[in-house]
């Protein structure tokens, strides 16, 4: 577990830890220590450090208005709303807070709630940008360009009413919040004309395994596979898949991301 992940866990539990009584604090410490493998005293010190981050004594510049507790409340709603962007999150927060209060599921005090509802869109965007698992400079992408992409033509411009059997194909990594280790992938084909979608699962993203997945997809389509436009990942742009498509007279072209 990375330090960033541990920090995120402590931040998620901070608001509850600060509100809890002695017994409640002990239960939170037990849970956090079990997940992060931290020593109990180290966990107590971590919570105390995060709590003190809201103190602005001896600090130059503007005072911190939205402290750690408000940030923890924002993170709670952000996770609840499937980690959507700040532009969509900002307008929905009052509705979520109202419903959670109605159902007695909102555990934050009035001051924290008031500050959260008062938070501007700009401040919210800055806070969310610091959260774990937010796309920065492309996010956690698993696609790496292939050295053989010169052999595959690039499709320029949008699709122009192609017949069924022409579609876009890519891979989806089922890796959770980290790219470390081995995990499954889903190869997804979406037909442009009919919006027909076909999926094939595989272990890792090897070239041969990807060819077998595309072969299974082609066999399950209700029409003849005529052409595929993959991204620039090495699982697609390789001699194995290029040869398989060439033998079956299946067109293959790289998607131009600027046009798609």
pLDDT above 90 coverage of the chain, percent: 27
137-151 pLDDT per residue, tens: 445 555 555 455 556
Burial 146-179 (b: 16+ CB within 10 A, else e): beebeebeebeeeeeeeebbbbbbbbebeeeeee
97-135 pLDDT per residue, tens: 999 999 999 988 888 898 889 888 988 898 888 886 544
N- to C-terminal Cα separation, the chain: 37
Neighbouring residues of 216: CB distance < 8 A, sequence distance ≥ 6:
200
Going by DSSP bridges, is the β-strand pair 166-173/227-230 parallel, antiparallel, or unpaired? parallel
* Number of neighbouring beta carbons within 10 Å of residue 234: 17
Tokens of 134: 């937010």
Residues 88, 75: Cα–Cα separation, whole Å: 14
Which residues on adjacent β-strands are paired with residue 252? 228
Average pLDDT of every residue of the chain:
81
Burial 81-93 (b: 16+ CB within 10 A, else e): eeeeebeebbeeb
Q: What is the pTM for the complete model shown? A: 0.44
pLDDT at 59 over 80: no
pLDDT at 69 over 90: no
Where helices occur in 119-157 by DSSP H, the ranges are 121-129
Helices first, then strands: H and E counts in the chain: 9, 7
The domain segmentation of the chain, as residue ranges, is 3-129, 149-255
Architecture, CATH, for domain 149-255: 2-Layer Sandwich (3.30)
| Confidence grade of residue 50 (pLDDT, cut at 50, 70, 90) | confident
Residues 45, 50: Cα–Cα separation, whole Å: 9
pLDDT at 27 over 70: yes
């Amino acid at each position: 577990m990375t330090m960033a992940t541990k920090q995120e866990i402590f931040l998620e539990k901070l608001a509850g830890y600060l509100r809890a009584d002695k017994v409640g604090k002990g239960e939170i410490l037990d849970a956090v220590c079990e997940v992060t493998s931290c020593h109990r005293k180290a966990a107590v010190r971590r919570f105390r450090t995060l709590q003190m981050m809201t103190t602005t004594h001896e600090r130059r510049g503007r005072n911190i208005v939205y402290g750690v507790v408000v940030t923890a409340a924002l993170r709670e709603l952000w996770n609840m709303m499937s980690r959507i962007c700040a532009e969509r999150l900002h307008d929905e927060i009052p509705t979520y807070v109202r419903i959670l209060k109605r159902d007695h599921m909102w555990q934050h005090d009035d001051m924290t709630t008031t500050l959260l509802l008062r938070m501007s869109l700009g401040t919210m965007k800055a806070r969310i940008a610091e959260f774990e698992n937010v796309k920065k400079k492309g996010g956690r992408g698993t696609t790496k360009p292939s050295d053989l992409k010169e052999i595959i033509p690039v499709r320029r411009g949008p699709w122009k009413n192609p017949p069924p059997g022409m579609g876009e194909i890519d891979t989806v990594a089922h890796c959770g919040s980290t790219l470390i280790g081995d995990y499954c992938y889903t190869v997804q084909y979406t037909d442009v004309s009919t919006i027909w979608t076909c999926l094939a699962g595989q272990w890792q993203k090897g070239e041969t395994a990807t060819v077998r997945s595309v072969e299974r997809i082609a066999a399950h389509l209700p029409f003849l596979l005529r052409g595929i436009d993959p991204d620039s990942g090495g699982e697609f742009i390789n001699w194995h898949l290029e040869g398989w498509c060439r033998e079956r007279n299946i067109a293959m072209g790289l998607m131009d991301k600027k046009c798609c």
